[in-house]
Chain A
Amino acid sequence: MKDVSFGQYYPTQSFVHKMDARVKILLIIAYIVGVFLVASYHFLGFGACLLFVIIATIFSNVPFSKVLKSIKGILFIIIFSAIIQIFFNKSGKVIWWIITDEGLLNAGFIVARITLIVLGATLLTLTTSPVEIADGIESLMSPLKYIKFPVHEFALIMSIALRFIPTLLDEIDRIIKAQKARGADFESGNLFKRAKALVPVLIPLLISSFRRADELADAMDSRCYAGSKNRTRYKKMHLTYRDLLGFILTAGLITGVVFLNGFYVLLVI
């Protein structure tokens, strides 16, 4: 259980890894917007998005198989939405039985959209550690300080939660073993029975989490923690030429998508 790496971060040194986390988050949002901008049935726009993902993957030193693996997790959702489109879309010409040409096109369209979005988001979590993402979000949210939103506390809660995920996974493992040693049965019975069997795992986990929180608070107090006032940051994020290049590439993608949309419109006319 120890090696569960949350957020599937792939630690290596690369162009994309060294980019500023804030920029990466913003660029991924821009990329997702780009994917949504692709007008209906204009598949060339998706081609541009795919090209973008491929270029980004090459620059990130992450093997393609790692990136593609992410689709496995949402395969069910993809197939499900494709089936709904294929069998229940009634508009367009009927090709065979109840399947229409528009249904097929729509299915392909949705599959491409979901896949591309997931590939992009995966690339972010593969190249940016959870801590960097938390820090990036804190920095991006910092204007909210002016409306009295506790940005620092929010980010600290987030990073402590991330820090404790492996610790708590270990703990769950230990509790399950302890309960099994006393004859608890987690494997048989229907879904309801199995869910009920988890109660003796969750309650000790909850209690020990409270104790951990208490001890952590003491340790933080002892290390002079007093909120965000007068606090400095050791890690500073700074923009480099890499971020500029990433920005240019993403801007290029969006222009490309818009241009290709227009290109189709011209073809139709």
Chain B
Amino acid sequence: MEKILKVENASFSYDKQNKVLKDISFEVERGEYIAIIGHNGSGKSTLAKLLNGLLVADSGEVTVANFSAKDKKSLFEVRKRVGVVFQNPDNQLVASIVEDDVAFGPENLGIERKEIGERIDFALKAVGMEEFRKVSPTRLSGGQKQRIAIAGVLALKPEILVLDESTAMLDPQGRKEVLEVVEKLNEEEKVTVIAITHYMEEAVRADRILVINHGEIVMSGTPKEVFARAEELREIGLELPPVCQIVSGLIKKGLQIEKEILTEEELLEALCELLQKN
């Protein structure tokens, strides 16, 4: 598989003393869905800003499809490929009409008028907001606004979509909407997704999880592998997703079920099996 993003020994500090990120290295393959988890202040949002050159690593290297995020000349190429969706939808929307906002990115790239129109169609369709094209974003719900923010990034046709706590300010309904859209983009449009979050249940869906603590990657692996290390996670202030908590509780009570259950369906199946056996 092609490595689309490489982070090599990246370190960063805001004040030249306290390192927010220490010697971080990881690679992302095209089409992968990665979750980066860590509690507040772990350095995960700083990492997001490193990925598209909003911040430049003090040492080390971030490369996207062979373009360095360090180099001023290739910065534009990096940003074209890495779309970042931030936490607060209100602070990402530039224009007072949905279609004008989605057009903002393509306009910056200097794309022809006709193609901008096509890109708006594509982006709004991808997030399921076609009928809101002429509406003012102030009249939309949080989840809808965030979907417009995603559409605004998609209109740049990025290869990597970085979600920097993009669901943190949303209600459960809005969070579900956004996650469904992201999942669809990953599956159907083959967009590489890097989801930075402190909601463990959002990481369940990922192909791979990186756990950050105090600016270092302390764990990495599939959700099953990571969630199996419940004790270590708890030590760095991260709670397991509810289903995993139930499972580990049941195991403690002496139930003979597998440790690596992640979803409600799997749990249901395992419990039914257990009932049949007895």
CA distance A162 to B97 in the complex (A): 11
> Which of B49, B79, B86, B149 contacts A224, CB < 8 Å?
B79
The answer, yes or no, to whether B111 is at the interface (CB within 8 Å) is yes
Q: Are B109 and A224 in contact (CB under 8 A)?
A: yes
Against B, the Cβ 8 Å flags (1 = close, 0 = not) of A124-166 are 0000011100000000000000000000000000011011001
Which residue in chain B gives the minimum CB-CB distance to A233? Answer: B107
Residues from chain A with a CB closer than 8 A to the CB of B47 are: none
Contact with A159, one of B95, B106, B110 (Cβ below 8 angstroms): B95
Give the distance in Å from the alpha carbon of A233 to the alpha carbon of B109 in the complex.
Answer: 10
CA distance A162 to B94 in the complex (A): 10
- Residues of A near B107 (CB, < 8 A) are 231-234
Chain B residues, Cβ within 8 Å of A223: 79, 83, 94, 104-105, 108, 152-153, 156
A167 contacts B by Cβ under 8 Å? yes
Q: Given the known A-B contacts A159-B95, A232-B107, are A224 and B88 also in contact in the complex, defined by CB atoms under 8 Å?
A: no
- Are B86 and A219 in touch, CB under 8 angstroms? yes
Q: From known contacts A220-B94, A221-B54, infer whether A234 and B49 are also in contact, taking CB-CB under 8 Å.
A: no
Q: Which residues of A contact B90 (CB under 8 A)?
A: 167, 212
- Within 8 Å CB of B109, what residues of A? 224
Interface contacts (Cβ under 8 Å), in number, total 98
Closest B residue to A5 by CB, please name it. Answer: B136
Q: Which of B112-120, B171-179, B202-210, B248-256 contacts A (4 or more CB under 8 A)?
A: B112-120
Q: Are A231 and B91 in contact (CB under 8 A)?
A: no
**Inter-chain contact A131/B86, CB cutoff 8 Å:** no
Q: Does residue A173 face the partner (Cβ distance < 8 Å to B)?
A: no
Interface residues of B in 183-205 (CB under 8 A from A): none
| Residues of chain B lying within 8 A (CB to CB) of residue A94 | none
What distance in Å separates the Cβ of B4 from its nearest Cβ neighbour in chain A? 17
Counting chain B CB atoms within 10 Å of each CB, the highest count among A163, A219, A234, A235 belongs to A234
Residue of B nearest to A235 (CB): B100
**Dominant SS at the B interface?**
helix
By beta carbon, the residue of chain B nearest A220 is B94
B84 proximity list for chain A (CB < 8 A): 219, 222
Report Cα–Cα, A221/B153, bound state, in Å: 11
Contacting residues of chain B (55-105) with chain A, CB-CB under 8 angstroms: 76, 79-80, 82-84, 86, 88, 90-97, 99-100, 103-105
Please, how many angstroms separate the alpha-carbon atoms of A232 and B111 in the complex? 6
Q: Are B105 and A224 in contact (CB under 8 A)?
A: yes
Contact pick for B153, options A222, A226, A230, A235, CB 8 Å: A222
Check if A166 sits within 8 Å of B138, measured CB to CB.
yes
What is the CA–CA distance of A223 and B83 in the complex, to the nearest angstrom?
7
B93 pairs with A163, CB closer than 8 A = yes
Q: Secondary structure at chain A's binding surface: helix, strand, loop or mixed?
A: helix
Please state if A221 and B91 are interface contacts (CB–CB under 8 Å). Answer: no
| Closest B residue to A134 using CB positions | B96
User: A225: CB under 8 A from chain B?
Assistant: yes
Given A222-B52, A224-B76, also A216-B94 (CB < 8 A): yes
Say which size band chain A's interface belongs to. 20 to 34
B16 within 8 A of A: no
Write the nearest CB–CB distance from B263 to chain A, whole angstroms: 33
Contact across chains for A222 and B94 when beta carbons are under 8 A apart: no
Q: How far is the CA of A131 from the CA of B156 in the complex (A)?
A: 23
- B96 contacts A159, C-beta separation under 8 Å: yes
Question: Which of A218, A220, A224 has the most B CB atoms < 10 Å from its CB?
Answer: A224
Can you list, as one digit per residue, whether each of A227-244 has a CB less than 8 Å from chain B (1) or not (0)?
000111111100000000
| B93 surroundings in chain A (CB, below 8 A) | 163
Is B277 on the interface with A (CB-CB < 8 A)? Answer: no
Contacting residues, chain A, for B52 (C-beta < 8 A): 222
The complex places the Cα of A226 from the Cα of B76 at a distance, in Å, of: 9
Shortest distance from the beta carbon of B55 to any chain A beta carbon, whole Å: 10
Q: Are B94 and A130 in contact (CB under 8 A)?
A: no
Alpha-carbon separation in the docked complex, A224 to B80 (Å): 7
A225 touches B108 (CB 8 A): yes
Is B97's CB under 8 angstroms from A131's CB?
yes
Given known contacts A216-B91, A225-B104, is B116 in contact with A232 (CB within 8 Å)? yes
A215 contacts B by Cβ under 8 Å: yes
What residues on A are CB-neighbors of B80 within 8 Å?
Answer: 224
Give every chain A residue within 8 A of B234 (Cβ-Cβ).
none
Beyond the given A222-B82, A234-B106, could you list 8 further A-B residue pairs with CB under 8 A, ordered by the A residue number? A216-B91, A219-B84, A222-B83, A223-B105, A223-B108, A231-B107, A232-B113, A234-B117
Q: List 19 A-B contacts (CB under 8 A).
A: A2-B139, A162-B96, A167-B138, A212-B91, A218-B49, A219-B84, A219-B94, A219-B149, A222-B52, A222-B54, A222-B83, A223-B83, A223-B108, A224-B79, A225-B108, A226-B76, A232-B107, A232-B116, A235-B100
